[in-house]
């Protein structure tokens, strides 16, 4: 073997050895990342597990196990990516998990594919061999949720849901909106990184990370800049934010007191008072008629300060939350708790009570009744004859979605509401939204001929044909009036209309017109229509000159 061949062989061996070492190191790194991801996943620390699964998938995009578990982890943060990952994992390895049909059902339900979700749940149910398997009951409930969701999704309400934006909402959970009486200050609960919220990082003795791997809940406030913008949130101080979870419930007593939740004895209801210098004082726990060793959740005090509505697991056999109320006694403290009854409370969690200012409508969140899945917002009207709360009504889509929707709170003037919801299109997990009922808008203008755009045409009928959100047909009409040939019509905003332009019972033409969303009744826009039409209304109003012929001749005479 010549020297060149020997040198090439030595170089080749060295390269092969280097590649082998690199491959081995790479494989070890991938195994380590997968082990770390699985450990966090098994601890239900899903957010922290995702970066490690992504490292594994960057090296091995077809790793079915990593795809499957990353997909389950993404369910709490990105429903669409969760669906992509779990479906891909099943395609690569049909039996990637014995529960894969269950999780396919979950991602389909959360992505509004309700028929497919039902099919996957049924497939999963068939894998449960024991007739008394407790999972059968859960699967039956999930199938019912998909059926409920399909009905409500196909009968939407004319409601405009608006995200409060990235100043308020983050990649983490924001919820429990509390609005001041002047609608200028929003107090809410966030699980954002404390380092990103002025003042929140100063929580004395606080460990940032909770058992689920997320940051602890903290109470913050944001001040309104204008109708659509808020200042950067800031902490309400160390008195309100403890070493555990703290959440806002309600401002009351002229905004001088804050009802709140604190992670004490599995969760209790506290109240904090604002001092004259504007700082919040140390929260005080409500008495034992309200708080127990079991979990208490949200609470609401009526405007007269005499009745407290709250959720508690104290009286529940299975640890789920139910709604109760307590009356203030003559001594000023809270009396024995009483249940809102079986018409309101279910076998599932019932939470987040809130009453309209007149006390006649109860709003609450429930995982029971005919929910679309997770918590839905329900309302109940007070039955003055039966002296009880009436049958709860699901507030429908798009207020409610297939995932959690809760903490429904009316704005001070009652014209719109705030809501916390985990829905597609948000910034992270739960976000805070406003709920506005779509209102009428005034359309006004004139109709002109394309041949003569200086003269408006009176007597033209305009018929605006459209549909409500649930596809029910709607129609609005007016006729252009003399002398200016103008029209004025109120139509439901936020949709596209087919506008039929008619004259003397005949259609001239039909034009399409998109009407923007309006959430107040005072909005108006001008729309002029230009059509292929010649108006003969004014024909004959001018004087015609005489013409002359000689007898039996058809040639015009000169004076003509």
The domain spanning residue 105 has which CATH number?
Answer: 1.25.40.10
On whether both 379 and 481 belong to a single domain, the answer is no
On whether both 220 and 351 belong to a single domain, the answer is yes
* Paired tokens of 101: 């049909």
* Cβ contact 221:186 at 8 Å: yes
**Using a CB cutoff of 8 Å and minimum separation of 24, what contacts does 319-324 make?**
319/294, 319/295, 320/347, 320/348, 320/349, 320/350, 321/295, 321/297, 321/349, 321/350, 321/351, 322/350, 323/350, 323/351, 323/353, 323/364
* Cβ contact 493:438 at 8 Å: yes
Which residues have CB under 8 Å from 113's CB, separation 6+? none
| Residue of 44, 50, 172, 215 lying closest to 430 (CA atoms) | 172
pLDDT in tens, 252-284: 999 999 999 999 999 999 999 999 988 999 999
Q: Please, which pLDDT band fits residue 553 given cuts at 50, 70 and 90?
A: low
On whether both 69 and 185 belong to a single domain, the answer is no
Q: What is the CATH number of the domain that holds 427?
A: 2.120.10.30
Residue 6 has pLDDT above 60, yes or no: no
Residue 406 has pLDDT above 90, yes or no: yes
Within 13 A of 335's CA, how many CA atoms are on the CB side? 11
* Paired tokens of 128: 């449960």
The phi and psi torsions of 290 (rounded to 5 degrees) equal: -105, -55
Q: Please, which pLDDT band fits residue 535 given cuts at 50, 70 and 90?
A: low
Q: Which domain holds residue 97?
A: 27-153
Q: What percent of the chain has pLDDT over 70?
A: 89
* Paired tokens of 403: 């995932």
Residues 395-410 have a mean pLDDT of 97
| Residue of 210, 204, 195, 335 lying closest to 282 (CA atoms) | 204
Quick check: is 557 in a domain?
no
- The pLDDT of residue 26: 58
On whether both 393 and 271 belong to a single domain, the answer is yes
- The pLDDT of residue 122: 97
pLDDT in tens, 165-187: 999 999 999 999 999 999 999 99
| Residue of 547, 551, 507 lying closest to 529 (CA atoms) | 507
DSSP 435-446: EEE--EEEEEEE
| Residue of 539, 538, 445, 524 lying closest to 484 (CA atoms) | 445
On whether both 144 and 234 belong to a single domain, the answer is no
- The pLDDT of residue 541: 44
- The pLDDT of residue 539: 46
Quick check: is 145 in a domain?
yes
- The pLDDT of residue 513: 97
Q: Please, which pLDDT band fits residue 483 given cuts at 50, 70 and 90?
A: confident
Q: Please, which pLDDT band fits residue 430 given cuts at 50, 70 and 90?
A: very high
Reduce the DSSP state of residue 549 to 3 states and report it: strand
Q: What is the CATH number of the domain that holds 466?
A: 2.60.40.1120
User: Which residue, 437, 459, 488, sits at the end of a domain?
Assistant: 437
pLDDT in tens, 106-126: 999 999 999 999 999 999 999
Cβ atoms < 10 Å from Cβ of 538? 8
Find how far residue 84's CA is from the centre of its chain.
22
Quick check: is 22 in a domain?
no
Domain count for the chain, please give it.
3
Q: What percent of the chain has pLDDT over 90?
A: 79
383-to-253, 278, 387, 389, 476 alpha-carbon distances in Å: 28, 41, 5, 6, 36
Q: Please, which pLDDT band fits residue 19 given cuts at 50, 70 and 90?
A: very low
Residues 44-67 have a mean pLDDT of 96
Mean pLDDT of the chain: 90
Question: How far, in Å, CA of 117 to CA of 373, rounded?
Answer: 12
Q: Please, which pLDDT band fits residue 207 given cuts at 50, 70 and 90?
A: low
Quick check: is 7 in a domain?
no
- The pLDDT of residue 484: 87
Q: Please, which pLDDT band fits residue 17 given cuts at 50, 70 and 90?
A: very low
């Amino acid at each position: 073997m010549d020297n060149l061949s020997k040198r090439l062989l030595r170089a080749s061996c060295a390269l092969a050895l280097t590649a082998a070492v690199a491959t081995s190191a790479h494989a070890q790194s991938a195994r380590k990342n997968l082990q770390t991801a699985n450990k966090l996943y098994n601890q239900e620390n899903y957010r922290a597990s995702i970066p490690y699964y992504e490292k594994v998938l960057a090296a091995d995009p077809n790793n079915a196990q990593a795809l499957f578990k990353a997909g389950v982890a993404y369910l709490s943060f990105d429903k669409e990516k969760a669906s992509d990952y779990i479906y891909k994992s099943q395609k690569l390895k049909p039996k990637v998990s014995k529960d894969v049909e269950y999780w396919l059902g979950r991602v389909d339900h959360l992505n509004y594919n309700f028929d497919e979700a039902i099919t996957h749940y049924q497939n999963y149910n068939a894998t449960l061999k024991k007739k008394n398997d407790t999972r059968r009951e859960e699967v039956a409930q999930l199938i019912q949720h998909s059926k409920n969701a399909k009905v409500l999704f196909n009968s939407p309400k004319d409601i405009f849901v608006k995200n409060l934006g990235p100043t308020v909402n983050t990649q983490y959970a924001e919820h429990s909106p509390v609005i001041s009486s002047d609608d200028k200050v929003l107090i809410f609960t966030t699980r954002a990184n404390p380092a990103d919220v002025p003042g929140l990082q100063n929580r004395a003795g606080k460990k940032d990370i909770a058992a689920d791997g997320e940051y602890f809940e903290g109470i913050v406030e944001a001040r309104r800049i204008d109708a659509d913008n808020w200042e950067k949130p800031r902490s309400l101080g160390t008195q309100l934010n403890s070493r555990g979870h703290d959440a806002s419930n309600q401002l009351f007593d002229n905004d001088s007191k804050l009802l709140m939740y604190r992670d004490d004895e599995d969760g209790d209801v506290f109240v904090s008072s604002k001092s004259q210098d504007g700082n919040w004082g140390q929260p005080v726990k409500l008495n034992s008629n309200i708080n127990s060793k079991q979990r208490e959740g949200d609470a609401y005090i009526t405007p007269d300060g005499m009745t407290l509505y709250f959720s508690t697991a104290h009286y529940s056999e299975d640890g789920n939350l139910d709604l109760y109320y307590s009356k203030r006694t003559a001594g000023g403290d809270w009396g024995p708790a009483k249940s809102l009854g079986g018409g309101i409370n279910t076998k599932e969690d019932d939470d987040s009570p809130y009453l309209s200012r007149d006390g006649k409508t109860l709003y609450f969140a429930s995982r029971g009744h005919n929910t679309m899945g997770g918590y839905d917002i329900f309302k109940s009207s007070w039955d003055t004859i039966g002296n009880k709360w009436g049958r709860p009504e699901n507030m429908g889509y798009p207020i409610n979605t297939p995932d959690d929707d809760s903490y429904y709170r009316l704005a001070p003037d009652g014209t719109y509401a705030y809501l916390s919801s985990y829905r597609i299109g948000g910034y992270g997990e739960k976000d805070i939204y406003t709920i506005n009922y779509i209102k009428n808008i005034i359309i006004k203008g004139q109709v002109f001929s394309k041949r003569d755009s200086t003269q408006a045409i009176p007597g033209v009928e305009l018929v605006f044909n459209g549909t409500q959100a649930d596809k029910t047909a709607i129609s609005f009409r007016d006729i252009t009036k003399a002398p200016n040939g103008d029209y004025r019509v109120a139509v439901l905003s936020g949709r596209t209309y087919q506008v039929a332009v008619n004259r003397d019972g005949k259609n001239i033409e039909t034009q399409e017109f998109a009407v923007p969303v309006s959430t107040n009744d005072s909005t108006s826009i001008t729309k002029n229509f230009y059509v292929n039409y010649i108006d003969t209304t004014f024909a004959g109003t001018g004087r015609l000159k005489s013409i002359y012929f000689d007898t039996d001749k058809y040639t015009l005479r000169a004076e003509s």
